[in-house]
Structure 1
Amino acid sequence: MSSFPGFEKPEESAPKKEEEPIEAPSPSKQVPPPEMKPAQPSPALNPLLSQPKHSPAEVGEEATELPPYVFPDASLLQSVQEDPAKAQEREEEARRNMEIINETLSAFSAGARAVSYKIGPSVTRFDVQVDPNVQVNSLYKYETDISVHLAGLPTRYVPIIPGKTTSGFEVGNRKREMVSFKEVFEALPKGPEHNLCFPFGKSIDGNVVSGDLSACRHMLVAGTTGSGKSVFMHGILLSLLMRNRPEDLKLILVDPKSVEFVAYEDLPNLLCPIITQPSQAKVALDKLAKLMDKRFALFSKAHCRDIRSYNDYYAAQHHKKRVPYIVVVVDEYADLAMQCKEIEGPIQRLGQKARAAGIHLIIATQRPDANTISGTIKSNLPTTVCLMVKDSTASMVCLKQKGGEQLLDHGDMLVDCSSLGKELVRCQGCFVDEHTDLAAVPDFIRSQLPPSYDPEFLDLEEAPLVDSSPTIEAPSTAELRAMGDEEKYQQIKSIIMTQESTSISSIQRNFGVGFPRAGRIVARLQKEGIIAAQSDANGSSKGLKVLVRVDPNPGGVDNGSTPGSRSSASTSYSEE
């Protein structure tokens, strides 16, 4: 049969041979598979393996036996009893104010009405239900009108109330409830893990609002005179003192007024005596920054992330001395920064890194303006307590929104803390009695242990800047007058060539010459290339840069050559 075009007949394949059966090898002949060993990383590829591990003997100090210590308890604090008559007056006042608020909103056809109220220690919140076709933010404009109809009571509108579907108007109470420090202290969380807890105060709902320095990190406290700023800081300090041993908590108190922290003198918790001078505060903060670096090196050797993991795990397991927490409280920061502008540097550095090292900052000021509380400083103080401030500008610096100017005095505050939520929390700060609470607790601690200052923080005098380079003394005015013009110029030039910069005014002051002569000297020095033709930056206070500088011979001038001449001193040329 002929095949179709394009198709060829396949060739016949050769007959297949019968395949021989494969015998399974006997068990005795089986070869065991090679043993698989895990690959070992090369030390050269992993730098961590090439570094020697630190033994516990090389990390930290050995723990010693602590002296006996009794914690101050709440029995030392003053109790405050609420008068039932005042509570009844606040209830009647709230009902009247609610009627006035509804009448005002109805008169303006605001599309909202107060449906309930909650009486707090210092303010009453009226819950406002807004009609579906009305914007919530439109009620801001009625704050002033409602305050006028309420006979001038401070009124603040809150568009969002966490946990509620209503907005609110916060109106100050004429009869306020006192919140005692004892009440809020007893409500703080218990346990060694809450040793850094402190009270903010009592909220409108009647709950105690507290914070933890471990979560708050660093804090800014702002408030005018009479706002309760100092009392609030006393509440923080007493809470920390009553919940920590002196070996576990150290304080650095900066008191420019010299009277605010006098109750804490000679406490065993103080790292150094109370600081009153701005220069001493700068030195103390610089030393604290160095201590922070030492602590990070210690934690790195112990393979710990922060102070709590080191104290609770490494120090406990290896019988090492615990690292104390350090709380720095700076009062009147605005005045301090005006007198010592360099203090912003260490505060910024500590604010960025010090939390993990167990160092926390509490900065207080009466004038929270942008000049003293810069954006960098504010960003490193994440927790803000704003008491009554002067105006809305100060409130914007503290809270990035208005409202601080509408607060009441004596402890009424707005708290911006991430651990409390995204919205601001309004609460009434606790009252610390100056003659009972503030005296009993420090006296009880002082009666048990003497002061124990850190030797590194006892010398807080700023070291003077010493110029190690040899200089040539300027001749007196009488000597200059006796010289000729050329000799006088060479003498002035030799001294200028040992400096970094000069100017016409500095030549006038240092050499007693008039303005025209000083101008001619500067012009000749520029022509000879000794000084720059113009300053490095416009408006620079340093003057003109010296381009040719000399290193005068400490032993004097040899061979009778002119002082400062290029033959008598080694010359260096500054590169532009």
Structure 2
Amino acid sequence: MGLVGALLKNTYLTLMGFGGYIFPLIIVFIGLWLIINRTDISEDKKSIFLLIIFLCFITILDINKTKAGSFKEQISLAFEYSQSGLGGGIIGAFFGYIFFKLFGSLGSNIILLLIILVNFLLITEIEVGNFLKKINDKLKFSKFEKDNTKKNNTNNTLNKVEKKQKVKSNKKRNEKIKILDYNNKNNEKINRLESKKSKTKNTISNTEESINNYKLPTLELLKNRSNERDSDDKKEVLTNAKKIEETMENFGIQADIVQISKGPTITCYELQPAPGVKVSKIVNLSNDIALNLATSDVRIEAPIPGKAAVGIEVPNKNKVSVSLKEILMSDEYKNIDTKTPLALGKDIAGKPIITNMAKMPHLLIAGATGSGKSVCINTIIMSILYKSTPDDVKLILIDPKVVELNVYNGIPHLLIPVVTEAKKARNALNWAVEEMTRRYKIFAKNNVRDIHSYNNKIKDNEEAETLPQIVIIIDELADLMMVSAQEIEDYICRLAQMARAAGMYLIVATQRPSVDIITGTIKANIPSRISFAVTSQADSRTILDMGGAEKLLGKGDMLFYPSNFSKPLRVQGAFVDDEEVMEVVSFLKEQNDLEYDEEILASIQNKRVSSKNNGDELLPDAINLVIEEEQASISLLQRKLRIGYARAARLIDEMEERGIVGGYEGSKPRKVLIDKENLNSE
């Protein structure tokens, strides 16, 4: 053993008695624990818990040998025992004497054993509640096993019973979940409609003829698209439902799937939480649910409007496109009583979403590039063309991108050719404002409140002409705002505020959902919104005033938020390709030769001339001022004429158009191109 070994032995036995044999093993164990787990000794709490257990152990050894005496006598007695490897040594005697004096022998043993138990639980990280529950379950199981053994005399029967019960419980659980698969209903409906197609063809052709022998386009111009699904879809949906419930259980949330709605591109699992469960807890688990389902972004609607459930929207692995033909064949589209329907697509349950433009009455569409905005605009235009004649609805199409809406040039519904220049677009919006004002004067003269009342009143008057509804569609607002932001914003706001009763509706689309494009004034006056997929939550908040659009899938996946809804509705947009659009446009062009209203065209073309004649009343003063100062700038006009920035900027633009001042040259003042003599001669 050697001198060192003998010295350590005597020291350990003197200090810890019988514990001197155990203490070296504890030190070795702690050292290996720290090395294996690479833990810093200052952060290792489990080693401290182990040492506390050891200290309580040697204290118990000494308490059971303690006799009523002085502290000195107790230490001497412990020293004698320790030399023989008994008791708890001097350390045990010290703590034992204190506990004995405070709690006595029995009380000390109970307290020390409780301390040992608590530290043991802290080391093993056993939760007492779960531990007791498992023991209780095992006791119940053993009792059940004994009873079953007495009845059947075999353990195999018990296993069979358990398996049968498990299968039955899973079947019952799956039967309780209501699965709404839009595809089954849709296929039945399409087959039924196709079978009746030959019978109803003559009836449809008769209803298509209007007073002026105008025929609405036929559904045969549109394509049928296959909507086949895999047979394993139902099994996959039930598996996902089970995984969602397990995820909730893992995080201590008690909830059950009560209904599953399977749509074209997403499936909505309706989760009913138990009483007392906070909805925010479920919302915060969207990433964990996506991880367990091995899918892309999961959107959670909490709660579903009108239901005591939370909607968990999971993308389908096999996505199905929604064709425009399906929507136009639906009863919802056929039965809607309006000349300006918006056939958007299908919701998560496969129900066609068709709304009345007159009730919205204006719409803001935004989303990233390639998310489906242009297809949505084509769908909206086509749904109007399939329902209305040129006498009912007129269109003004503004397309700064040039290539998107040019295909509609020549259809009889257009008031003017598709506008592609930003300045002409401004003039077209100005004409729309003037037309709105003119219509209100007509309404006041005839003592009516809106376009429908006016048209009904003059229906029997052959001399008076009915007023058509006008839908103004702007495909890219950002380009217009870059040219003349203030004027465009003013026109849009005036139309949005007053044009509904005049039968004029505005649809504005942009791929830049930033606050400098979709300004607060525009948002306040256009309450109905559609958001396609965007890149960030900030963009989603700009469009919808809430997050959610950043988790959309693209390719027509949208959030439809009309003004009368409390929350956005998720919709898979209907798809119509360029070939279908060309077929419908060709069908409409063949019916009659289009003649645009020359007065409207002249008004738009000559808007700049009229603006020169009706300039600002301060324009002469501004011209004299810049000639006297021999320089022109907005800040100069603001200071000298005491006007605001916008008015000063308009005066500068007016003088530039008249050739009085030069163009913008950065930080330098604009050059004055004429003097007083030239001004007087003009």
Do they superpose with TM above 0.5? yes
SS in 2 for 1:194: coil
**Bigger Cα displacement from structure 2, 372-381 vs 192-201:** 192-201
C-alpha distance in structure 2 between counterparts of 1:497 and 1:277, whole Å: 30
Q: Name 1:444's counterpart in structure 2.
A: 587
1:288 CA displacement: 1.0
Kindly indicate whether residue 305 of structure 2 is the aligned counterpart of residue 162 of structure 1.
yes
- The one of 328, 332, 336 aligned to 2:480: 336
**Bigger Cα displacement from structure 2, 104-113 vs 274-283:** 104-113
**Bigger Cα displacement from structure 2, 187-196 vs 104-113:** 187-196
CA spacing shift, 1:164–1:215, aligned 2, 3 Å: same
- Contact kept? 1:269, 1:452, Cα under 8 Å: no
After superposition, give the CA deviation of every residue in 1:490-545 in whole Å (9 maximum; x if it has no partner).
Answer: xxxxx9996235898928x9xxxxxxxxxxxx9xxxxxxxx9998848999969x9
One-letter amino acid of the counterpart of residue 479, structure 2: D
Number of residue pairs aligned between Structure 1 and Structure 2: 433
CA spacing shift, 1:210–1:496, aligned 2, 3 Å: closer
- Counterparts in 2 of 1:256-275, with a 5 A limit? 256-275=400-419
C-alpha distance in structure 2 between counterparts of 1:306 and 1:542, whole Å: 38
Q: Name 2:380's counterpart in structure 1.
A: 236
1:260 CA displacement: 0.3
1:335 CA displacement: 2.1
Kindly indicate whether residue 330 of structure 2 is the aligned counterpart of residue 202 of structure 1.
no
1:193 CA displacement: 3.4
Q: Name 2:562's counterpart in structure 1.
A: 417
C-alpha distance in structure 1 between counterparts of 2:444 and 2:514, whole Å: 39
Q: Name 1:375's counterpart in structure 2.
A: 520
1:137 CA displacement: 2.4
1:362 CA displacement: 0.3
SS in 2 for 1:347: helix
Q: Name 1:574's counterpart in structure 2.
A: none
Q: Name 1:174's counterpart in structure 2.
A: 317
C-alpha distance in structure 1 between counterparts of 2:341 and 2:404, whole Å: 22
Percent identity reads 33
Long gaps (5+) in structure 2: 1-209, 652-674
Kindly indicate whether residue 394 of structure 2 is the aligned counterpart of residue 250 of structure 1.
yes
One-letter amino acid of the counterpart of residue 346, structure 2: K
Q: Name 1:39's counterpart in structure 2.
A: none
C-alpha distance in structure 2 between counterparts of 1:393 and 1:454, whole Å: 43
1:396 CA displacement: 0.8
- Contact kept? 1:78, 1:433, Cα under 8 Å: no
- Contact kept? 1:156, 1:169, Cα under 8 Å: yes
- Contact kept? 2:295, 2:314, Cα under 8 Å: no
After superposition, give the CA deviation of every residue in 1:139-188 in whole Å (9 maximum; x if it has no partner).
Answer: 12111121222224220111122342211111111211111101111223
SS in 2 for 1:328: strand
Higher Cα Rg, which structure: 2
| Alignment RMSD (CA, Å) | 3.1
C-alpha distance in structure 2 between counterparts of 1:221 and 1:172, whole Å: 23
CA spacing shift, 1:353–1:541, aligned 2, 3 Å: closer
- Contact kept? 2:422, 2:480, Cα under 8 Å: yes
C-alpha distance in structure 2 between counterparts of 1:533 and 1:97, whole Å: 69
1:73 CA displacement: 2.2
- The one of 395, 408, 428 aligned to 2:540: 395
1:418 CA displacement: 3.5
CA spacing shift, 1:101–1:447, aligned 2, 3 Å: same
C-alpha distance in structure 2 between counterparts of 1:399 and 1:274, whole Å: 29
Q: Name 2:89's counterpart in structure 1.
A: none
1:81 CA displacement: 2.4
CA spacing shift, 1:124–1:220, aligned 2, 3 Å: same
- The one of 459, 478, 481 aligned to 1:316: 459
- Contact kept? 1:306, 1:356, Cα under 8 Å: yes
- The one of 122, 129, 132 aligned to 2:275: 132
CA spacing shift, 1:182–1:542, aligned 2, 3 Å: closer
C-alpha distance in structure 1 between counterparts of 2:266 and 2:676, whole Å: 77
Kindly indicate whether residue 286 of structure 2 is the aligned counterpart of residue 143 of structure 1.
yes
CA spacing shift, 1:279–1:89, aligned 2, 3 Å: farther
One-letter amino acid of the counterpart of residue 212, structure 2: P
After superposition, give the CA deviation of every residue in 1:248-290 in whole Å (9 maximum; x if it has no partner).
Answer: 2111111111110122011111111110111100001101111
- Counterparts in 2 of 1:151-550, with a 5 A limit? 151-187=294-330, 188-190=332-334, 193-311=337-455, 313-319=456-462, 320-341=464-485, 342-419=487-564, 421-435=565-579, 437-459=580-602, 460-461=604-605, 462-463=607-608, 466=612, 499-500=624-625, 506=631, 536=642
SS in 2 for 1:499: helix
C-alpha distance in structure 2 between counterparts of 1:254 and 1:540, whole Å: 25
C-alpha distance in structure 2 between counterparts of 1:539 and 1:241, whole Å: 44
SS in 2 for 1:258: coil
- Contact kept? 1:256, 1:332, Cα under 8 Å: yes
C-alpha distance in structure 1 between counterparts of 2:638 and 2:559, whole Å: 55
- Contact kept? 2:436, 2:502, Cα under 8 Å: yes
C-alpha distance in structure 2 between counterparts of 1:175 and 1:383, whole Å: 31
Kindly indicate whether residue 262 of structure 2 is the aligned counterpart of residue 105 of structure 1.
no
- Contact kept? 2:221, 2:583, Cα under 8 Å: yes
1:333 CA displacement: 0.5
- The one of 75, 81, 86 aligned to 2:220: 75
C-alpha distance in structure 2 between counterparts of 1:222 and 1:68, whole Å: 38
CA spacing shift, 1:216–1:338, aligned 2, 3 Å: same
C-alpha distance in structure 1 between counterparts of 2:639 and 2:562, whole Å: 54
One-letter amino acid of the counterpart of residue 599, structure 2: E
One-letter amino acid of the counterpart of residue 409, structure 2: E
- Contact kept? 2:339, 2:392, Cα under 8 Å: no
C-alpha distance in structure 1 between counterparts of 2:371 and 2:622, whole Å: 57
TM-score (norm: length of structure 1)? 0.69
Q: Name 2:157's counterpart in structure 1.
A: none
CA spacing shift, 1:305–1:503, aligned 2, 3 Å: same
C-alpha distance in structure 2 between counterparts of 1:158 and 1:126, whole Å: 10
1:466 CA displacement: 4.4
After superposition, give the CA deviation of every residue in 1:531-572 in whole Å (9 maximum; x if it has no partner).
Answer: 9998848999969x9xxxxxxxxxxxxxxxxx989xxx9xxx
1:95 CA displacement: 2.3
- Contact kept? 2:295, 2:315, Cα under 8 Å: no
C-alpha distance in structure 2 between counterparts of 1:354 and 1:207, whole Å: 31
